[in-house]
Amino acid sequence: MSRRPCIAANWKMNKTADEADDFLDPFLPSQSADGPEVIICPTFLALGRVAERCAGTSVRVAAQNMHFDDSGAYTGEVSAPMLLDIGVDGVILGHSERRQYFGETDEDLARKVRRAVEAGLEPILCCGETDAQRESGDMEAVLSHQVLTDLAEVHTEDLDKVVIAYEPIWAIGTGRTASDGQAQEAIEFIRSLLRTRDDAKADLVRILYGGSVKPGNAEALLGMPDIDGALVGGAALDPDDFGAIVAAAGNG
């Protein structure tokens, strides 16, 4: 089954709009529509600038979060129509930092994922276990709960409109990376969960790996049969490093 590789840059709380320009100036000319799909996920304040710069190029733009309602008394929140209005066509949902620091629940995420799909935004749904959960043998139970609950409100025919990112929490920002085999094992398991919903759709869903992905380990990770790309954090802040990861995906 051929799935187009996807490499997404999660800038987290980094880069002003001007700093985003400094990244895009050398990066955009190097990208081709024939290569992997590339997605930039800047801060809310840089989203408009990045969307304008990427319009008409092969590089897509996604937000790092959104609310499940379209409007209302939710101070500090941003909705799907607002993102679409400025040219954004995707959104990261359920990153472990959102779950850990801001109390996002799987029930919240089920509503967010459904609303993103309904609105025509491509959700990048994150899931992953802690070090303690892996060591205690609970990895599969954690992933099962997260994936099945977060996708519960998505119609089966729409499953392939969701991208999933497996990000073991113990590998995010720590410098530790899951081995090729560990990442493949977890992502193969996630795909088996999707098969409980629809076998054919499970083959179409792209599942990314995230967690200290760097130019030096990208090619090996992206060479695994079930790994369809990467959600990149720290290395995505440098255009040369991120470009090298995109190139590694193109070599796969």
Q: 252 CB contacts (<8 Å, ≥6 apart)?
A: 5, 219, 222, 223
CA atoms within 13 A on the CB side of 127: 31
Rounded to the nearest 10 degrees, the angle between the axes of helix 139-150 and helix 106-119 is 40
CA distance 221 to 183: 8
Long-range CB contacts for residues 139-143, cutoff 8 Å, separation at least 24: 139/186, 140/189, 143/186, 143/189, 143/190, 143/193
Question: Which residue out of 95, 97, 104, 129 is catalytically annotated?
Answer: 95
Query: Residue 130: what residue type?
Result: T
- Of 204, 138, 205, 203, the closest CA to residue 169 belongs to 138
Is 167 labeled as catalytic in the residue annotation?
A: yes
What backbone torsions phi and psi does residue 138 show, to the nearest 5 degrees? -100, 10
Distance of CA 130 to the CA centre of its chain: 18
Contacts of 177 (CB under 8 A, 6+ apart): 171, 211, 212, 213, 214, 217, 221
Backbone angles phi, psi at 229, to 5 degrees: 150, -160
Strands (E), 118-203: 122-127, 163-166
Active-site residue set = 95, 167
